[in-house]
Structure 1
Amino acid sequence: MSHNDDTRSHAAAGTAGSRTLKRSLSHGQMTMIVMGSALGTGLFLGSGTAIAMAGPAVILTYAIGSALASVIGAATGEMAVRYPVRGGFGTIATRYLGPFAGFLTRIAYWTATVLIAGVELVSVATYLNYWWPQLPLWTGIAVFGVALIVLNLTSVKSFGMLEFFLSSIKVISIVAFLLVGLCLIFFGLPGHAAVGTANLFNDGGFMPNGPQSVWLSLAVVMFSFGGIEMISISAAEAKDPSRSVRSSAKAMMVRLATFYVLAVLIVVAIIPWRSASGLGDAVEASPFVLVFEQLGVHGVAHFVNFVVLIAALSSANANLYAGARLMHSLAVDGMAPRQLAQVNRAGVPARAVWLSTSGMVIAILLALYSPKEAFLSMIFVIMVCALTVWVLILFAYIVYKRVEPATDGFRLWGGQFTAAVGVLLLFAVWVALFMVRGSMIPAVVGVGYFVVLSLLYFARIRHTHVIDEQTFVEAQQATGEYDAMKYDADHALETAAKLGR
């Protein structure tokens, strides 16, 4: 390390006290934050667009997407078990790929999260239109946006408790939907005969738009899995990061794969795929609502609409949280204005939270001037950012495996080889993104955005960034201190038990 870099490192360490996030998230809260981010509009609202592209074969698309997401999630989780650092995978990318990659990873993810928060609020307003068709989209976005800002400015513990509650509602509801849906398909319910699987093969067969439609629809479906990397960000505020990351990563991969594949199977099996794809050009209702409307069960449809509204609100909440933490990390490392690194008395980076509300403003503007195209336009820009982040995460993991010892308890099966396959699949999704109708302009805007960011980095940021090794020291201390406390507690209980005999 050069003398200049060493000076920067000490400067960063010296001011860390006023910038340190508080480790107050419990194991359950951390798991639900990850689930809250990933289970949002990508499944409940965006699935209609994917169904329009691939027909019943969208089941295969979600299966492939689940496998790819599991690779990314496992790689992220393995690195986070060892280094539960502030800035998560972005800080890790800085260490193993260099400052430029670390900057791009974090700024891309920050951009994705703030836009996703806006997309989710568009969805919340859309679901409100199911009950109040005349309500302007911007009204719902503004009202719920203010509520989320207030929540995220309080302590992270309060945020974690509410996110746990919201995510629990939608996880329980999805499980109930799966059980009811599978019964309707294979056994029937009182007053409703078994639907069977005929709709999977009617109207053009299982792949009505050809095998290429499975590949092209990945450009939309992968949006559904945005949030799988949230585990690395929340690890910096977990009480027991090592245990929480291990179990949360495993639960996330199993649950998301099950939820997505089975849920989409139920949708395209119960109603014809052309009806289920009604969201392909206009965002008016969720396919999950249409399932029950098709069966004439209107009361349940209202409940499902409520659940998917909660899902979108929960995801917006989790993404605003993540965006603020990434911007805080960039500021601590000198890659964003220093003022954004400050935290309030509750340990919340309040200024970073305010800046991260920019996606809500964009969502309101799109809702005012281009309401029908707002959802898909933002999805494609987000996908450019997400794909960039995922590729850099896997590249960082490949380098990480070359220089770090094996992680105990949790690791990506196949290691570097599996990560390399994941990179190739992500490049295939990149190509598909530019071939989907309506995606060219948003995708080009996304690429242009990265060109501007790259120029900004080399012109200014590379001269001001710091090498913050202190965050790695703090992360290892947090893991070691928790393990030591747990050992002392277990030892005390054992001693008390012996004395009580």
Structure 2
Amino acid sequence: MSTTPAPPPASSPAEAPGGALARSLSHGQMAMIAMGSALGTGLFLGSGAAIGMSGPAVILCFALGSAIAATIALSMGEMSSRYPVRGGFGTLAARFLSPYWGYLTRWLYWFVTICVTGAELVACATYLRYWASGVPLWAGILLFAAIILAINLTSVGSFGVVEFWLSSIKVVAVLVFILIGIFLVVVGLPSSPAPGLTNLTADGGFLPFGIGSVWIAMSVVMFSFGGIELLSITAAEAKDPGAAIRTAARTTIIRLAFFYVLAVGVVVALLPWREASGQGEEVTASPFVLVFDRIGIPGAASLTNVIVLIAALSAANANLYAGSRMLHSLSADAMAPAFLSRLSRRHVPVRGIAVSSAGIVLAAALAFTGVGGVFGYMMALVVFSVLLVWALILVSYLFYRRTRDGRETFRLPGGAATAAAGLIGVLGVFSTIVVVRDLQLAALVGVPAVAIATALYLLVVRHRIDPRRTDAAFAEAEAAEAGTAGRATGQEAGTTPTT
């Protein structure tokens, strides 16, 4: 006789201490969450700054960035499909490097997520001013912040559905933009003759600032790929983590490479590169919107602005999610205050979401005080921090390769050699700090932050770490993966899994 569990008493607390995150995300939702974070402002708004640095050669920048991002995503995919642990790549770094590196990786990435959340909301507010120029930037930031907070405070299943559709809208929109753009480049309109490839070689040629400009522009371009790490973080809330990560890793990186290279190529083919870049001024509109503004297709520019706004909102939404989950994993492993591990009755880390809203507060405060270039400053902070995180992910993978047990069902093509090449690429981009002023300013914040985090680790956290917590997380992840694999095997054999 089946029984229905009784509902919790009315007096039950709204939050439960600790507890496990709910495994509610499907394959498609995981892929779209990663796309939601990565396919955002870096392409739609930040590409203007990259074009200003390198001209039409920005196409090469995005191609190189796609190759580096693919290495990171696929190495993460191999590790996380084998060990879908809470805390993702941070917990993996703790196991394969040391507890300190796991601690630092997770705190660095949390810092990345709060800065990206703030930067994406700045972009949303910037897009809003395309229609309502009188709306203060800080007011737009707070408006869109309320929306993503409401989405994140629901269950993870509801979050996954909303993010899936937000990301789907922008994926379809970018694909349509590419197709229309190619038509305009090759065929044109009566009011706008086809430019062909002339804009790629005019006004200084394909490399107006020389080959070194490609290297310098990478400091901006790599911001666009921040978010691929979510593939690892969502593993702890996936219904079928191993298979989901394998699918998401492959599809995400293919889509990103295709969208970024072709979309940016269309922009610089249709617009003179100085116009697409904003001519060195602070970016106030997306180059994608400028394309349709210049061509004069009725309503197309406004529709494109809606799409890029949705893209930024989706990315902000995904990064607030990532930050709250990273804080939850840090707290569960005694690397952050214990109260952050508490979950709501819907298995949502509400307190982690509240603390991870710091980026929203920072962005609104900077905008309110009238500081110019808010988006540029926050983008530089993200690039500085995410490059360190990516380097640690690839180093973790190199050490992971020494311990592989042959049970992997997904592998990085080329293995350690590919990871080493990716690491060289990351370090090459990081070296632009010697010439890029915004990255130098970011280092003035980032280096002291790392020093403070290290001091806290040595004085406080190191004495609280229990290696058994990491062991338990790995055991739980392996059990989850074994369980889903067992169910899949049973279904393939035509049996009904027992409950």
Contact 2:82 2:408 in 1 (8 A): no
Q: Distance in 2 between matches of 1:286 and 1:407?
A: 46
**Structure 1 residue 232 corresponds to structure 2 residue 251:** no
Q: Secondary structure at the match of 1:149?
A: helix
Q: What is the aligned partner in structure 2 of residue 241 from structure 1?
A: 241
Q: What is the aligned partner in structure 2 of residue 10 from structure 1?
A: none
Q: What is the aligned partner in structure 2 of residue 381 from structure 1?
A: 381
Deviation of 1:434 (Å)? 3.6
Contact 1:130 1:285 in 2 (8 A): yes
Deviation of 1:493 (Å)? 6.1
Deviation of 1:70 (Å)? 0.4
**Structure 1 residue 473 corresponds to structure 2 residue 480:** no
Q: Distance in 1 between matches of 2:139 and 2:52?
A: 29
Q: What is the aligned partner in structure 2 of residue 107 from structure 1?
A: 107
Q: 1:454 to 1:370 in 2, by over 3 A?
A: farther
Instruction: Provide, for residues 293-343 of structure 1, a one-character-per-residue CA deviation record: whole Å limited to 9, x for no partner.
Output: 111124101000000000000000000000000000000110000110111
Q: What is the aligned partner in structure 2 of residue 397 from structure 1?
A: 397
Structure 1 segments (4+ residues) deviating >6 Å: none
Q: Which amino acid aligns with 2:288?
A: F
Deviates more, 1:364-373 or 1:54-63: 364-373
Q: Is there any run of 5+ residues in structure 2 with no aligned partner, and where?
A: 1-15
**Structure 1 residue 413 corresponds to structure 2 residue 385:** no
Q: Which amino acid aligns with 1:140?
A: G
Identity %: 50
Instruction: Provide, for residues 272-293 of structure 1, a one-character-per-residue CA deviation record: whole Å limited to 9, x for no partner.
Output: 0000010743121000000111
TM-score where L is the length of structure 2: 0.94
Q: Is there any run of 5+ residues in structure 1 with no aligned partner, and where?
A: 1-15, 496-501
Q: Which amino acid aligns with 1:478?
A: A
Q: Distance in 1 between matches of 2:464 and 2:434?
A: 35
Q: What is the aligned partner in structure 1 of residue 5 from structure 2?
A: none
Deviates more, 1:255-264 or 1:441-450: 441-450
TM-score where L is the length of structure 1: 0.93
Q: What is the aligned partner in structure 1 of residue 133 from structure 2?
A: 133
Deviation of 1:49 (Å)? 0.3
Contact 2:49 2:283 in 1 (8 A): no
Contact 2:48 2:278 in 1 (8 A): yes
Q: Give the superposed CA RMSD.
A: 1.6
Deviation of 1:407 (Å)? 5.4
Q: Distance in 2 between matches of 1:151 and 1:433?
A: 36
Deviation of 1:43 (Å)? 0.3
From 487, 490, 494, give the equivalent of 1:488.
490
Q: What is the aligned partner in structure 1 of residue 41 from structure 2?
A: 41
Q: Which amino acid aligns with 1:369?
A: T
Instruction: Provide, for residues 66-87 of structure 1, a one-character-per-residue CA deviation record: whole Å limited to 9, x for no partner.
Output: 0000000111111011001100
Residue correspondence of structure 1 range 232-311 to structure 2 within 5 A: 232-278=232-278, 280-311=280-311
- Count of aligned pairs between the two proteins: 480
Deviation of 1:255 (Å)? 0.5
Deviation of 1:372 (Å)? 3.0
Q: 1:109 to 1:125 in 2, by over 3 A?
A: same
Q: What is the aligned partner in structure 1 of residue 173 from structure 2?
A: 173
Deviation of 1:17 (Å)? 8.3
Q: What is the aligned partner in structure 1 of residue 9 from structure 2?
A: none
Q: Secondary structure at the match of 1:203?
A: coil
Q: Secondary structure at the match of 1:130?
A: coil
Deviation of 1:485 (Å)? 2.0
Contact 1:267 1:287 in 2 (8 A): yes
Q: Distance in 1 between matches of 2:199 and 2:77?
A: 38
Q: What is the aligned partner in structure 1 of residue 11 from structure 2?
A: none
Q: What is the aligned partner in structure 1 of residue 97 from structure 2?
A: 97
Instruction: Provide, for residues 337-389 of structure 1, a one-character-per-residue CA deviation record: whole Å limited to 9, x for no partner.
Output: 01101111111111111100000000001111245310111111111110110
**Structure 1 residue 352 corresponds to structure 2 residue 357:** no
Contact 2:490 2:496 in 1 (8 A): no
Instruction: Provide, for residues 6-35 of structure 1, a one-character-per-residue CA deviation record: whole Å limited to 9, x for no partner.
Output: xxxxxxxxxx98321010001111110010
Q: Distance in 1 between matches of 2:279 and 2:116?
A: 18
Residue correspondence of structure 1 range 43-58 to structure 2 within 5 A: 43-58=43-58
Deviation of 1:417 (Å)? 1.4
Q: Which amino acid aligns with 1:147?
A: I
Residue correspondence of structure 1 range 320-359 to structure 2 within 5 A: 320-359=320-359
Greater per-residue helix proportion: 1
